[in-house]
A and B are shown apart, each in its own frame.
Chain A
C-alpha cells in the first residue's frame, strides 16, 4: 500500500519561500507510470493543482503560479519537494502531495495534507 506524508514548516512569513517535502513509502518513486504531484486547498475552498514531477526530474507546473513554484525529486530518499517563492496570504492553504496515475489519469494516492499559513 503506497503512503505519502507531507512535512515542513506550518508558518511562513510573507515574501519568503514555502518549502515542503513528501516522503513516499510502500512503493518506489522510480515507478514509470506515475507523476508525483502537489495540490493545494485554501481553507473552505476547492482544489488547485500546483505541479508535478517525474522520477527523471521532468516537471510541469500550473501557469497561474507564474514561475513561483519549483518541484524537485530525490530518488535515493524516495522523496519529492515543493518550493513556492514570494508567498502572500493568498498562499495559505492545506498542501497535499499525491500520486498521479498516468494509466488511468487520476490522483490515486494522497498524503493527509500539511497546513501552511502565511503570516508575519
Chain B
C-alpha cells in the first residue's frame, strides 16, 4: 500500500506570508498522478492543483505546486496568504492499492 504523509500537520503563519506544504509518498509516483485540494469548514474539498503543478480552473496564481518526473516529494506553495487561505489542504495520488489515496492533511492557521 502506498501511503502519503503531509507535513507539517499544522502551519501557523500570518496573512501575506508564504506557505510551503509538503507531501511525501512512501513509494515513487509519477508527478502526473499527484493532486492538491483545499477544504474549507463545512465544504467539500476543492481541486487546486493536478499533475503536481497545473492549476485547476479558477484557482488564483498565488497557488503553485512542484515535484517533477517520478519521485516521492511534492510541494504546494501559497505565495502570499489571504484570509480565506487559512484552511486545510490535502494531497492525493493515483496508483497502487487502493487506487486513490489522500494524505492526512495540513491545516494552515493564523499565527
Contacts and interface: CB of A to CB of B under 8 A. Distances in A.
A and B interact: yes
Interface of A: 37, 46-49, 60, 62-64, 96, 98, 100-101, 104-108, 110-113
Interface string B37-75: 100000111110011001010000000000000000000
Nearest to B33: A105
Q: Is the interface of A mostly helix, strand, loop or mixed?
A: strand
B32 interface: yes
Contacts of B44: 96, 98, 110-113
Given A49-B101, A105-B51, A107-B45, 14 more contacts: A46-B105, A48-B102, A49-B99, A49-B100, A62-B99, A96-B45, A100-B100, A105-B33, A105-B35, A106-B35, A107-B47, A107-B92, A110-B44, A110-B45
9 contacts: A46-B102, A46-B105, A48-B102, A49-B102, A98-B44, A101-B50, A106-B92, A107-B92, A108-B50
Given A106-B50, A106-B92, A49 B98 contact: yes
Interface residues of B, number: 25
A102 to B, nearest CB: 9
B86 interface: no
B102 A63 contact: no
Interface of B: 32-33, 35, 37, 43-47, 50-51, 54, 56, 90, 92, 94, 97-105
A65 to B, nearest CB: 9
Contact of A47 (B46, B50, B99, B102): B102
B99 A104 contact: no
Interface-central residue, A49, A96, A101, by most chain B CB under 10 Å:
A49
A107 B92 CA distance: 9
Contacts of B99: 49, 60, 62
Contacts of B103: 46
B102 A105 contact: no
